[in-house]
Amino acid sequence: MLSPAKINLGLEIPYKRPDGFHEIRSVFLRLNWGDDILIEPITPGSFELVSDNQIILEKRRLYDEVSEKGDLSKNILFKTFSKIRAHYRELPGVRIHLTKKIPPAAGLGGGSTNAASLFSFYFGLSPEFNSDHIFKLAAEIGADVPFFLSENHCLVSGKGEILKDIQVHSGQGILALTPQVLSTAEMYAGLKKPLQADPPSKRWISLGNDVEFSLKEGNWAALREKLVNDFEPLAFQKFPQLGKLKESFLANGASYSSLTGSGSCVYGLVQGLEIREELFAKMQTEFPDLTFVSFNY
């Protein structure tokens, strides 16, 4: 089955919370592109991972280091298995066949989506799981994991665990799989956000309503004036090519373009398959060394 990637439409980090996490406000879109994952039950207590690493060459090593070829104890699937088994020792072990396409350090949720796939597998096997418990355990694995347990696009806040389902007009896009590596921890530290615990501002509530309307109508161009990714200035300063990618997406026909998450991937959204084909060809010509992927949502 598909373990889908996500992109962020806007990502505001208003402050650092007393619990050490950062408050976020963003729209998460599920893509129809990602990893392929097959999970089958085996002897209780056993965990096996078989990976087909198809990540772009520059980042392939990052996954190998935490796969069955490296230190498996650092792999998010193994961590998820261990946490679930700590609560439900009677559940079967797993053999996981993973075709890994989502690169690490990309802002696409590649580890979180795999963890959610394993949660979903066990949820299907055990009626003892309830959604509240699943979401609590999932949030302990990673802030983005609860989103991937949902089947919808979401308006996301809190540290990533507060989800509001939203309607999004179907659309198309192109994702640039970039080789640059941006440390999430370093990016958050670079924002230098103040420590506070304010409730969502009236501006965000109003903005959220405006964004939901634009998404429902498919008015991607209107989002340019409404959404920002707070990480873009840091990312574009460190790697100017990422900024050039965004500029080129917009110049070549994209209705909206942005860095996703804390980076380093950049995407462009379009209105229509023909426009996407033209944009894809132009971007490949302009950036022949990069890998581009078409997606729908």
Catalytic residues: 6, 144
Does 157 appear as a known binding residue? no
**Angle, nearest 10°, between helix axes 240-251 and 273-286?**
140
Does 185 appear as a known binding residue? no
Does 124 appear as a known binding residue? no
Does 260 appear as a known binding residue? no
Does 112 appear as a known binding residue? yes
Give the list of residues 6+ apart from residue 141 with CB closer than 8 angstroms, or none: 76, 79, 80, 83, 112, 115
Does 108 appear as a known binding residue? yes
CA distance 140 to 23: 16
Does 184 appear as a known binding residue? no
CB 179 within 8 A of CB 61: no
CB 34 within 8 A of CB 113: yes
CB 26 within 8 A of CB 9: yes
Does 251 appear as a known binding residue? no
Alpha-carbon dihedral sign for residues 242, 244, 250, 252: negative
Q: 């958050």: which residue's tokens? A: 188
Does 110 appear as a known binding residue? yes
* Binding-site sequence positions: 103-113
* Binding-site sequence positions for ATP: 103-113
